[in-house]
Amino acid sequence: MKNKLSVIFPLALIATLVGSMQTASAAEKNYSLPLSKPGEPVSIDVEVYRGSITVVGYKGDTIEISAKSSVFSGKDKDLKKVKAKMNKNNSSRSTKGLKSVKRSSMRLEIEENNNDVEISSEVSNQHVDLVIKVPQRSSIDIELYKGGDINIDGISGSLELEAYDGMIKAKNISGPIVAETARTDIVVSFSGFAKTSPSSLTSHLGNVDITLAKKVAANVNVQTYQGEVFSGLDKDFTVVDEIKKNKKGKKQKIVLGGVMQAKVNGGGQALSLTSYSGNLYIRKAK
C-alpha cells in the first residue's frame, strides 16, 4: 500500500511570493531522444532558470521530453531593480498599425552525447514545465532556480537536485541522493537505500520529510538548530557528538545543533537530514 505523503506546511515556513504569473502564450513540444549507447548508463543534466521539472523513470531506453513553455511577465521580488532598469531603456515607440506578435517560440536546448543528456532553459522570462521520461537506471542532476518544484518518481540511479525556489519531491527512489533547497521543503520517499555512497538532504529554512520503506537499512543523521525532529522509527536517535566529546575528555555539552543518529535495520550508508529552522520528519512506510 503506497503511503500517501501528507505535505505539511507549518506556520514557521516562510513562503516566497514569486509574483503573479501572467501567461501570455503557451507552447508545447514533445521530443523523443534516442540514446547513443542503449542499455548503458545514462546521465541526465537539467538546468532550468525558471519552471518546474518532473522526471519519471520507466522501462524504456529513450528520453521522452515534454515541454510546455510560457512567457513569464510577473515580478520576481529580487529582480525588481533589474527589471526597472530594463524598462527605462525600452522607450516605447509607436505601435500604430502594428499587431502584437505573440512570442510562442520556446528556447530549450537539448543535447545528447554518448548517453550524456543535457537539457537547459536559461531564459529568465520563460517558464518551462518539463516532464521527462528516462530509463530507471539514469543518474539525474537538476538545478532549478525559480518557479515551481522538482518532482522525481521511480529512479534507481543517483540524484543531485537543487531547487532555490520550489520544493523537491522524490518517491520510489533508492539514492544516492544529494538535495538542497533554501526555504522550501524536501519530501522524499525511499523504496530502497543505496549502499554505494552517502545521501544528504539539506534545507536552510524548509522542512525535510522522509519516508523509509520497511527494508531500508541506513544510518540516519539529523541536525536542526531551531526546528524539531519527529520520528516514527523504532530506533531512537542518540547524540553522536556527545560520544566524540567524551573521547576527547572535554566537558562541554552540545546544546544546540548537535548531530543525532539512528541506525535503521542495523545501519548502513549514511543518510543526513539537515535544516537550520525547519523540522525534520522521519517516517516508516506502512
List contacts with another protein (CB under 8 A). Answer: 139, 141, 158, 160, 175-178, 180, 196-202, 204, 225-226, 241, 244-245, 248, 250-257, 259, 270, 272, 274, 276
170 or 177: CB nearest another protein = 177
Q: CB 248 → another protein: shortest distance, Å?
A: 8
User: Of 126 and 223, which CB lies nearer to another protein in the complex structure?
Assistant: 223
Our CB check for another protein shows the closer of 27 and 217 to be 217
Q: What's the rounded Cα separation, in Å, for the pair 48 and 69?
A: 12
- Cβ closer to another protein: 61 or 241? 241
Rounded to a whole number of angstroms, the minimum distance from the CB of residue 286 to another protein is 28
**What's the 3-state SS for the chain?**
CCCCCCCCCCCCCCCCCCCCCCEEEEEEEEEEEECCCCCCCCEEEEEEEEEEEEEEEECCCEEEEEEEEEEECCCCHHHHHHHHHHHHHCCCCCCCCCCCCCCCCCCCEEEEECCEEEEEECCCCEEEEEEEEEECCCEEEEEEEEEEEEEEECCCCCEEEEECCCCEEEEEECCCEEEEECCCCEEEEECCCCCCCCEEEEECCCCEEEEECCCCCEEEEEEECCCCEEECCCCCCEEHHHHHHHHHCCCCCCCCCCCEEEEECCCCCEEEEEECCCCEEEEECC
Q: How far is the CB of 229 from another protein (least distance, A)?
A: 16
Judged by beta carbon, residue 189 or residue 199, the one nearer another protein is 199
CB of 240 to another protein, least distance (A): 9
C-beta closer to another protein: residue 71 or 262? 262
Q: Within 10 Å of residue 157's Cβ, how many Cβ atoms?
A: 22
Please identify, using beta-carbon distances, which residue of 27 and 259 lies nearer to another protein: 259
Of the two residues 121 and 272, which places its CB atom closer to another protein in the complex? 272
Cβ 49 to another protein shortest distance, Å: 17
Nearest to 188 by CA among 179, 196, 28: 179
Closest distance between another protein and the C-beta of residue 204, in Å?
Answer: 5
Q: How far is the CB of 37 from another protein (least distance, A)?
A: 17
CB of 196 to another protein, least distance (A): 8
- The CA distances from residue 286 to 50, 59, 209, 268, in Å, are 36, 26, 16, 21
Q: Are residues 178 and 253 in contact, defined by beta-carbon separation less than 8 angstroms? A: no
